[in-house]
Structure 1
Amino acid sequence: MADRITTPFGFESTAADVIDDVDLTGKSAIVTGASSGIGVETARALAAAGARVTLAVRNTTDGDRVAAAIRDSTGNTNVDVGAVDLSDLSSVGAFVRAWSGPLHILVNNAGVMAIPELTMSASGHEMQFASNHLGHFALAVELHRALAVAEGARVVSVSSAGHLRSPVVFDDIDYAFRDYDPFGAYGQSKTANVLFAVEATRRWADDGITANAVMPGAIVTRLGRHVDERVAAAAMKRQQTVKTVEQAAATSVLLAASPLLDGVGGRYFEDCNEARVVDRRGAPGRGGVAPYALDPAYAERLWDISLRMIG
């Protein structure tokens, strides 16, 4: 890979900082999971820059409340809500059928973490993999034409440092044979988010589409609702520093809209800069990305498997 990309922004930068002076007037964006946490601030920043923003959410009552608040705070009336349950492929299909026109920005932000018991989706796949990866994969693939006609579209795949807990175990993605591990399953799904960005950039380069993955940072949101408080506290201690929601949304917004990232794809960013590749979890220094998450052969294999999984 070429030299790591750096920007003037860092850990303390906010979504408002990275999008300052960026004009998204006339552009359309979708942000999944935009009824709480990082998704709200990502959507707010894009709307503040003038984009038409659709909040793709499971709970449209919460979505309507957030959309109204964003319209009030930004003065942008073009903030809409669409219903989608990413664990249900028929719901993803219905959302896509309701979409019209080009799509300039797709932020695959929604996620679930550390579901205590092995749970299967409607399509028969482990729920974290189904929600965090497969649903977003189907959404992007089915919106490919809308992304292509936008000429220069960007996809942001929200991953996590949790990807360091597990590669994609191709021979047993759905835990048919191995013991279920809530954090291992989460890690596998977050690795899949990075691999998606790698392969989407390769496959869709001729359409002008780029995709990158992001680690937002440690933050307390509804994502961790399944996690025991003691486990959460220990995880936060390991991260050492917790971000505000505005700071946590910064890297997603940077990848979605900043001209600094024009033409850049297939990479993993944290704290508004491309992450270093590490050879083990817990290596000295903050963060990093595992080599297996950027492996082009794994990325291609996952894409083919995911196509079969979504039918």
Structure 2
Amino acid sequence: MDQNETRVTTPFGARSTAAEVIDGVDLSGRRAVVTGAASGIGIETARALAGAGAEVTLAVRNIEAGARVAEDITATTGNKRLHVAPLDLVDRVSVAAFADVWDGPLDILVNNAGVMALPEGRTPEGWDRQFTVNHLGHFALARGLHGALAAAGGARIVSVSSAAHLRSPVVFDDLHFDYRPYEPMQAYGQSKTANVLFAVGAHARWAGDGITANALSPGGIRTNLQRHVGTLTAPAMAWKTPEQGAATSVLLAASPLLEGVGGRYFADCAEAVPVSRRPDDVIAMMAGVAPYALDPEGADRLWATSERLLASD
């Protein structure tokens, strides 16, 4: 069947807000984890889920900032079922500890935290820091929480990628820039492609457990994420508010319109069309998905590579 005939569309679009997307959805009795929920679209994603009645855990590096956000969300939604838990995605011990102490089912996992265009940096293992934070940490977290997600029945994983995935496929022969010059946006693009491939791989493996996984681009939002980007933030870009930027995440996390849908990539509250774009065309980049990001063989290779890295000493 032609891809366009099965493409998922919704009544929402680029200017829809998270509150509009989740209006009328009741998440009472559901439990959600949002990583990076102390800033940017993570805050608005958590707020929308809490506003619909979910019990939400803010998984954050800065506990004090997370506590302030939790208080604000409770004040604006009336929902007191907000929790704050430490999570440092670059630290395998921290990720394992978060998963190990989780008790009971988990209905929604939003892998939202991320870093963008960092100067070259390595983890203690020697891994590229952007790839580790944006992909490997979330990969380890999802695997650690797999049992909780399977126990929920109908759980959803949301992988927050970016249109910048069009800047680079996953370069398996040099994931950590050992042999090529480090370029911050190329490293970021590679990690964002990994976010999409993770959703493809997770859905293929875990759909039988009742778990769906999708990836998305939130669009261009002026947040602290862009602090290293500088002039790459083109003035012609149609900037979104954080509430608009969180809309597609919330759609994938909670909307009945996405029931049973998985292994796909969304932008502006609709499934993106596979395209080949020039990576310096900022406006065009926002609209589509690179075919290499949806490649099942690439997803399998990334899954095996990620498992091997995380199993190493």
What TM-score do you get using the length of structure 1 for normalisation? Answer: 0.96
In structure 2, what is the Cα distance between the partners aligned to 1:191 and 1:231?
19
In structure 1, what is the Cα distance between the partners aligned to 2:183 and 2:285?
26
State yes or no: 1:276 paired with 2:273. Answer: yes
Cα deviation, residue 302, structure 1: 0.1
Structure 1 gap ranges (5+): none
**Counterpart amino acid of residue 214 in structure 2:** N
Name the residue aligned to 1:241.
Answer: 238
1:14-54 per-residue CA deviation (whole Å, 9 max, x = no partner) reads 00001001000001000000001100000000000000000
Does the 8 Å contact 1:161/1:215 carry over to 2?
yes
Cα deviation, residue 136, structure 1: 0.3
**Alignment of structure 1 residues 220-239 onto 2, 5 Å:** 220-228=222-230, 230-232=231-233, 234=234, 236-237=235-236
State yes or no: 1:259 paired with 2:256. Answer: yes
Name the residue aligned to 1:99.
Answer: 102
1:127 to 109, 126, 129: 129
1:257-289 per-residue CA deviation (whole Å, 9 max, x = no partner) reads 000000000000000000010023349685200
In structure 1, what is the Cα distance between the partners aligned to 2:240 and 2:255?
21
Does the 8 Å contact 2:267/2:286 carry over to 1?
no
In structure 2, what is the Cα distance between the partners aligned to 1:231 and 1:152?
39
In structure 2, what is the Cα distance between the partners aligned to 1:65 and 1:98?
23
Aligned-CA RMSD value: 1.2
Q: Secondary structure at the match of 2:288?
A: coil
2:189 to 187, 191, 198: 187
2:27 to 24, 29, 51: 24
State yes or no: 1:178 paired with 2:180. Answer: yes
In structure 2, what is the Cα distance between the partners aligned to 1:304 and 1:129?
15
Identity score, percent: 64
After the TM superposition, list the runs of 4 or more consecutive aligned residues in structure 1 that deviate by more than 4 angstroms.
Answer: 283-286
**Counterpart amino acid of residue 292 in structure 1:** Y
Name the residue aligned to 1:216.
Answer: 218
Cα deviation, residue 123, structure 1: 2.9
In structure 2, what is the Cα distance between the partners aligned to 1:225 and 1:246?
20
In structure 1, what is the Cα distance between the partners aligned to 2:163 and 2:98?
29
1:142 to 124, 141, 144: 144
| Range moving further from structure 2, 258-267 or 279-288 | 279-288
Does the 8 Å contact 2:219/2:239 carry over to 1?
yes
Q: How many residues align?
A: 305
Name the residue aligned to 1:68.
Answer: 71
Does the 8 Å contact 2:199/2:215 carry over to 1?
yes
Does the 8 Å contact 1:89/1:123 carry over to 2?
no
In structure 1, what is the Cα distance between the partners aligned to 2:284 and 2:149?
39
1:117-176 per-residue CA deviation (whole Å, 9 max, x = no partner) reads x21113321000000000000000010000000000000000000100000000000111
**Counterpart amino acid of residue 292 in structure 2:** Y
Cα deviation, residue 205, structure 1: 1.1
Structure 2 gap ranges (5+): none
Q: Secondary structure at the match of 1:90?
A: helix
In structure 2, what is the Cα distance between the partners aligned to 1:268 and 1:115?
24
In structure 2, what is the Cα distance between the partners aligned to 1:97 and 1:285?
39
In structure 2, what is the Cα distance between the partners aligned to 1:167 and 1:248?
24
What TM-score do you get using the length of structure 2 for normalisation? Answer: 0.95
In structure 1, what is the Cα distance between the partners aligned to 2:138 and 2:229?
23
